[in-house]
Structure 1
């Protein structure tokens, strides 16, 4: 594959994180692909911006345009995965492929209860305490080269209630029918909550497949960064070969 053929990639982070979540993937892929990672509204450098899926869609679209290579492969994790589904629906001409990571669970009906409960609890705990808990958890579970950029970027706890309030009740497998590009559903094997509807999501799209990362949990790109990156790389090469 030549540099001209390489598929551009935009990475979209998960709940409370920022573009720093993808530091390992960007470092591993940038020699072969044009890559970018965004801060969603209310996160990272956009911490002061109000959350909305409409704003998230525009941010992803701007990142695709900034690479100046045409439609991009968008890789979305958790909240970022649902935002990427919204982008796929409203900006199909800018999408070459979609990786849904930890975002193949319905947010409708009774399945939404855990998200709703978490969103209600977060404002009851101080941001300082939540930051300490998150820092300790990430450092205990993952090596510093994987999580240091995320820790340095801080956390968007203040945005979590608004973000999940908009996502809850909005997405199920039917959202896949609005995606015009090929889809890789990339989940951690042990992420039982956010992969609970992966089979339904895959069946709803004619060019979707599921790939599991062994022993990985919800933060699969932290648990197994090389395996996660390799899966994205292979999918991007498939997209280029299929053009």
Structure 2
């Protein structure tokens, strides 16, 4: 069964280097760059384009419907993929993407989308490089750092996502769902119970002591959760 990883805000396919390396012997696996990110930095953002990129990645693996793993922005893009292309989805993992993007709590994120373009991109990149290198070992984050950051795409991406998704989006997902959150990611796991209740084949799993970037905080535990869910999908066939 193929596995397609979809990165989060400002990152790229490099976010998943550890997971791809650990899983490729057992599964056909790939990671995509969303529009405006990584090698697609010049492409304009849209959820529709993101959906087509995910669908193309599933098709390129040529092994039928895929398990799609989406983190944060990539999780919401994966929910849209699940709605538009249910025939291409075997299972869905939402990581750090089980909070409603509607309501007053989103106001700080709208403020950030207006603030980011006012800060020079090279300064934002230096801050991100320093933060990642301080928090994580090189083998976990160097591929992300090499690929650069898509700050120029952040306003358009979150302007489209904010106001669009809540637990009701789970009704459009026809495949089993694992809601995989960092235990300490209090913001983006805020709606996990609502998201799980909205789907008859969804369950929640927490990565102990991990935060929003759970696949960086605990790469082995994150990979193991993906592997177990993929094996479960195969066993249920």
Question: What corresponds to 1:143 in structure 2?
Answer: 137
2:64 is the counterpart of 1:70: yes
- Structure 1 unaligned segments of length 5 or more: list them: 1-6
Question: What corresponds to 1:94 in structure 2?
Answer: 88
Q: Shift of residue 115 of structure 1?
A: 1.6
CA–CA separation in structure 2 for the residues paired with 1:163 and 1:80 = 10
CA–CA separation in structure 1 for the residues paired with 2:148 and 2:12 = 8
Aligned ranges 1:72-221 → 2 under 5 Å: 72-221=66-215
Q: Shift of residue 111 of structure 1?
A: 2.3
2:61 is the counterpart of 1:55: no
Question: What corresponds to 1:24 in structure 2?
Answer: 18
Q: Report the TM-score when normalising by structure 2.
A: 0.99
Q: Which runs of 4+ in 1 moved over 3 A?
A: none
CA–CA separation in structure 1 for the residues paired with 2:72 and 2:231 = 24
Question: What corresponds to 2:233 in structure 1?
Answer: 239
Q: Shift of residue 117 of structure 1?
A: 1.6
Q: Shift of residue 114 of structure 1?
A: 2.3
CA–CA separation in structure 2 for the residues paired with 1:64 and 1:120 = 34
- Structure 2 unaligned segments of length 5 or more: list them: none
CA–CA separation in structure 2 for the residues paired with 1:21 and 1:52 = 20
SS of residue paired to 1:104:
coil
2:2 is the counterpart of 1:8: yes
